[in-house]
């Protein structure tokens, strides 16, 4: 869904934010707990992987990861609004899903947290061909 390298950098920075704040560990414990409740101890690696990729982070975790990404983007002189732009696309695709089932909880509220940042078109030049990168995915 990323149309520019800046959006991808924002998305990666957000995910790194989850790692830096140890959300993955919390999430792992929560998901495994639920899985064990329903299936006894016969949890396969495939099931766990599926659970992990489908589970939603809490709204608080998402906001923390967003804050990490915002600071990282500012540090890189990229407008944080590139990430908001990506979130808007995600929101229009997933807004029909209730928050508790959504893998991106509180997305609309999170988008509004970006309003204080002025959108500035990036002047960065990358050493890779973005169109080529996108087409290779």
**Which one, 53 or 123, has the nearer CB to Zn ion?**
53
Beta-carbon contacts of 59 under 8 Å, excluding residues fewer than 6 positions away, are 99, 105, 106, 109
- Rounded distance between C-alpha atoms, residue 73 and residue 18, angstroms: 15
DSSP 4: S
DSSP 117: S
- The residue among 108, 15, 102, 7 whose CA lies nearest residue 66 is 15
**Which one, 78 or 110, has the nearer CB to Zn ion?**
110
Residues that bind Zn ion (CB under 5 A): 62, 65
Give me the least distance between CB of 58 and Zn ion, in Å please.
10
Give me the least distance between CB of 125 and Zn ion, in Å please.
29
First-last CA distance in the chain: 11
Give me the least distance between CB of 15 and Zn ion, in Å please.
7
**Which one, 6 or 62, has the nearer CB to Zn ion?**
62
**Which one, 6 or 68, has the nearer CB to Zn ion?**
68
- Rounded distance between C-alpha atoms, residue 73 and residue 7, angstroms: 10
Give me the least distance between CB of 61 and Zn ion, in Å please.
7
């Amino acid at each position: 869904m990323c149309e520019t390298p800046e959006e991808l950098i924002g998305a990666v920075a957000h995910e790194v934010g989850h790692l830096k704040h140890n959300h993955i560990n919390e999430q792992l414990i929560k998901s495994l707990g639920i899985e064990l409740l329903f299936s006894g101890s016969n949890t396969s690696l495939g099931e766990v992987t599926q659970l992990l990729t489908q589970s939603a982070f809490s709204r608080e975790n998402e906001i923390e990861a967003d804050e990490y990404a915002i600071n990282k983007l500012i540090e890189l002189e990229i407008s944080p609004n590139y990430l908001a732009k990506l979130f808007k696309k995600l929101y229009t695709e997933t807004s029909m899903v209730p928050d508790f089932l959504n893998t991106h909880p509180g997305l609309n509220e999170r988008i509004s947290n970006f309003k204080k940042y002025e959108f500035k078109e990036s002047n960065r030049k990358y050493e890779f061909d973005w169109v080529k990168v996108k087409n290779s995915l």
